[in-house]
Each structure stands twice: as C-alpha cells, then as structure tokens.
C-alpha cells in the first residue's frame, strides 16, 4: 500500500463497515477506503442468524428496524442480489407476568409507531405454531412482517455495490495503530503501510474496544460468545418451512427453520467476556433439552453441527453511531449487541450522514451517541436476548 490518502477510512468490513462505505459513496464522498484484516464479512456478521424484527421495548430499536427492513425488502432492486429474506414473522414467547407487562407496553409502543404486531394468548400461540408446547406460557407477541435474511449474501452484495461506486476495499489489511496531530486523527498504520485521511471510522464489531485503545479512546464494547446449532433435515409436516423465528426468552433459546433443518440458539448468560469462538460442547445437552421442551417433536431431531460467534456488547445493549468526543475526525459504529445485522442498513446511513453533514438526517441518531454513557443516560433495552 505504501502511503495513500483517502477522504474517509473505514476500519472493518462487516455489515456496519460496508454499509457506512456504501452510504458515504451515495452521499458523494469520492475516496472511501475500507480496511479489513481478514475478508469482507468474516467477523460476527457471517455467523449471525440474520433475524430482522420490530419487537423492541424502546422506540429506538423499533425505529431502526422500521428504517432498515425496507432495505431488506427491496434489496434486490438496490443491490442486484436476493438476500433470501424470509418474512415468516417473529414470535417472542411470554412465560411470566413480568414479561407480559413488558410485552403489553412494547406492543402499545410498536403499534403507535405503525408496526403490525399481535399479542397472542397461549391458545392462539398454539394455533399459530401447533408444534410448540404452550401449557407453561402466558402467550406470545407476533410480528408477521419480520423474519430473517442471509447475512453473507447481503453484506457481500453491499460491498460489491460500494466497489461499483468507487469504494476501495483492502482485504488482509490489519489496522495496527492510528495517527494523530494533536486532537485530530490523521490516518492509520496497517501491516501493509500507512493511509492518511481526515476521517476514520471504527467499524470493528466485537473488537471495537480493542481497536479503540489503539486510537487512545475508550469504546465500551466487549465480546460475548453466542452459539448456534443446526439439526439434520427434519420433516416439514412436523415443523413447517414458514414457521416464525421463535424466541423463547424465558429459557434463553431460539428456533427457526434453516433449509431442511432447524437452527437452534442458546448460550450462557454468565459467559465471561472473551474472543474465543471455540464451540463449547458442554452446552449442547442444555440447548437440546430446551428445544425439546418447547417443541417436543424435536426429540427425534439430530444435531448436525454448531458454531459460535461474538456479540458486541455495550452496557445498554444498544449500538453506538457517533463521533468520538475529543478527537476530531474519529467516528465509531459498533456495539449493536447481537442485533446489528438487522440495523446495519440504517446505521451505516446515519454514520455517513454524521460524517458528511455533521448530523443525522434520516432519523435522530442522538440516542446512539457514545456520550450517553458518560452522561449516565444509557438505558438497557429489555428485548435483547443474551
């Protein structure tokens, strides 16, 4: 690389980095360079379940989805690739009075914001998904427009379109440190040379805390390992192909169709922060037990393989799209705490707007500002499932 110059450097090519680069190009920024130490979509985005849902308790999460879902719905028109968005709905199960109270409030807010959502009792939940055990449930919330898309197809397609628009993507290029002139960022040093730019965006997912340290700033993002398991082919007359993405929040488990098999989620809430993505086989029996409890037909299913990826957790389980206070030209888009795939389209747009216009335009990005932590204004979003 030697020494190059750019208008904006984006560090990291997951959904956040490529979405930011694409929107910068759309806003007319000419020299956007993305630096990725591995390959496009090789971090958490590649390991995600692809879930896209409106079901949040706070206005922010709902509005981020409202803005992002249209991109996934019209993805082929914009990016020329079908991201396999299956709008089979999201079903979040309610097992306790406390969850029911949160659901009532969340449903009211979601409706106020124009989301089609139903609060089902246990009987209606069983009617919708007859394979679910519901005798220990109070009901569920159901959003039929939600579903899941393929994160790899989507992210690589956004990267390809960004390249078509002039964005340069350097893969196999790790950022080692940042260069500064006083309180202004001036570029980065990579293992392949230096790159100068007046604006640098940290979009390094679960590694953002570590990368922030390289720039001398504190980004409160820590890694949290999360597992997924996939079953061998399972008959569709037992669990239909169009079944919703089911979140069993009480048991800390999830279930959706993935082709001929089922994708099961689970993990430990008390998992210590670490960058390990080794599969912890000891959790398998618990994942199976919970899945079979909720969908007894799965007693006949066989687990085929599992993987683990990293959630990028912030203290309030909400993302950061922000200028870095105290260092002019340094920005961060990270920390979406396990729900960044769905919010990638709007988050990248807001990041690009902040850089180009100095403020967000499409929706209010102030609640995503990093200064909220220092101000003590960080409120945990209840409908996140760690």
Ligand X SMILES: Cc1cc2nc3c(=O)[nH]c(=O)nc-3n(C[C@H](O)[C@H](O)[C@H](O)COP(=O)(O)OP(=O)(O)OC[C@H]3O[C@@H](n4cnc5c(N)ncnc54)[C@H](O)[C@@H]3O)c2cc1C
Per-residue binding letters, 2-31, with ligand X (x by CB under 6 A): ---------xxxxxxx--------------
Question: Nearer to ligand X by C-beta: 122 or 169?
Answer: 169
Q: Does 253 bind ligand X (CB under 6 A)?
A: no
Q: Does 309 bind ligand X (CB under 6 A)?
A: yes
Question: Nearer to ligand X by C-beta: 47 or 122?
Answer: 47
d(C-alpha 55, C-alpha 69), whole Å: 12
DSSP assignment of 271-317, as one string? PPP-------GGGHHHHHHHHHHHSGGGGG--EEEEEEEEEEE-TTS
Q: What is the dihedral of CA 208, 210, 211, 214, to 10 degrees?
A: 150
Spell 154-173 as b/e; 16+ CB within 10 A means b: bbbbbbbbbbebebebbeeb
Part in contact with ligand X (CB under 6 A); list of ranges 93-101, 126-134, 291-299, 335-343: 335-343
CB of 330 to ligand X, least distance (A): 14
Single out the residue of 56, 178, 341, 385 in contact with ligand X (rule: CB under 6 A). 341
Question: Nearer to ligand X by C-beta: 88 or 339?
Answer: 339
d(C-alpha 75, C-alpha 292), whole Å: 35
Q: Restricting to residues 49-68, which ones interact with ligand X according to CB under 6 A? A: 49-51
Question: Nearer to ligand X by C-beta: 121 or 196?
Answer: 196
Question: Nearer to ligand X by C-beta: 122 or 157?
Answer: 157
Q: Does 317 bind ligand X (CB under 6 A)?
A: no
Q: Does 284 bind ligand X (CB under 6 A)?
A: no
CB of 360 to ligand X, least distance (A): 18
Q: Does 93 bind ligand X (CB under 6 A)?
A: no
DSSP assignment of 124-176, as one string? HHHHH-TTS--TT--EEEEETT-EE--HHHHHHHHHHHHHHTT-EEE-S--EE
Single out the residue of 103, 106, 143, 204 in contact with ligand X (rule: CB under 6 A). 204
Q: Does 187 bind ligand X (CB under 6 A)?
A: no
Number of Cβ within 10 Å of residue 139's Cβ equals 21
Number of Cβ within 10 Å of residue 382's Cβ equals 17
The tokens describing 238, both together, are 């037992």
Part in contact with ligand X (CB under 6 A); list of ranges 85-93, 98-106, 310-318, 375-383: 310-318
CB of 97 to ligand X, least distance (A): 27
Q: Does 244 bind ligand X (CB under 6 A)?
A: no
Q: Restricting to residues 351-380, which ones interact with ligand X according to CB under 6 A? A: none
Q: Restricting to residues 29-48, which ones interact with ligand X according to CB under 6 A? A: 35-38, 42-45, 47-48
E strands, the chain, in order: 2-5, 8-11, 32-35, 51-52, 90-94, 118-121, 139-143, 147-148, 168-170, 175-181, 184-190, 193-196, 199-202, 222-231, 245-248, 253-258, 261-266, 303-313, 320-323, 330-334
Catalog residues that contact ligand X under the rule CB under 6 A. Answer: 11-17, 35-38, 42-45, 47-51, 174-175, 203-207, 211, 226, 228, 309-312, 334, 336, 338-342
């Amino acid at each position: 690389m030697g020494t190059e110059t750019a208008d904006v450097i984006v560090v990291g090519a997951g959904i956040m980095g490529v979405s930011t680069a694409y929107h910068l190009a759309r806003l007319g920024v000419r020299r956007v360079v993305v630096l990725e130490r591995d390959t496009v979509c090789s971090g958490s985005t590649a390991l995600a379940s692809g879930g896209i849902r409106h079901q949040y308790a706070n206005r922010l999460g709902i509005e981020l989805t409202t803005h992002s879902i249209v991109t996934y719905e019209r993805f082929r028109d914009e990016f020329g690739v079908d991201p396999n968005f299956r709008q089979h709905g999201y079903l979040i199960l309610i097992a306790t009075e406390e969850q029911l109270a949160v659901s009532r409030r969340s449903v009211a807010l979601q409706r106020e914001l124009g989301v089609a959502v139903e609060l089902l009792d246990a009987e209606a939940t069983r009617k919708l998904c007859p394979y679910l055990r519901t005798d220990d449930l109070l009901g569920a919330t159901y959003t039929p427009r939600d579903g899941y898309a393929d994160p790899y197809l989507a992210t690589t397609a956004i990267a390809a379109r960004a390249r078509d628009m002039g964005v340069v993507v350097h893969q196999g290029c790790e950022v080692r440190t940042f260069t500064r002139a006083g309180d202004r960022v001036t570029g980065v040093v990579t293992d392949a040379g230096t790159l100068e730019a007046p604006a640098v965006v940290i979009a390094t997912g679960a590694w953002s805390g570590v990368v922030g340290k390289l720039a001398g700033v504190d980004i409160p993002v820590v890694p949290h390992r999360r597992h997924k398991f996939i079953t061998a082919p399972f008959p569709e007359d037992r669990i239909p192909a169009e079944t919703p993405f089911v979140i069993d929040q009480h048991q800390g488990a999830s279930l959706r169709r993935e082709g001929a098999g089922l994708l099961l989620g689970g993990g430990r809430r008390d998992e210590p922060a670490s960058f390990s993505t080794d599969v912890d086989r000891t959790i398998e029996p618990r994942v199976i037990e919970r899945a079979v409890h909720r969908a007894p037909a799965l007693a006949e299913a066989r687990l085929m393989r599992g993987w683990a990826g990293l959630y990028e957790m912030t203290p309030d389980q909400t993302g950061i799209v922000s200028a870095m206070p105290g260092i002019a030209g340094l920005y961060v888009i990270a920390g979406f705490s396990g729900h960044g795939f769905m919010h990638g389209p709007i988050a990248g747009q807001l990041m690009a707007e902040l850089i180009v216009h100095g403020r967000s335009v499409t929706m209010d990005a102030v609640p995503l500002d990093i200064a909220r932590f220092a101000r003590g204004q960080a409120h945990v979003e209840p409908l996140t499932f760690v």
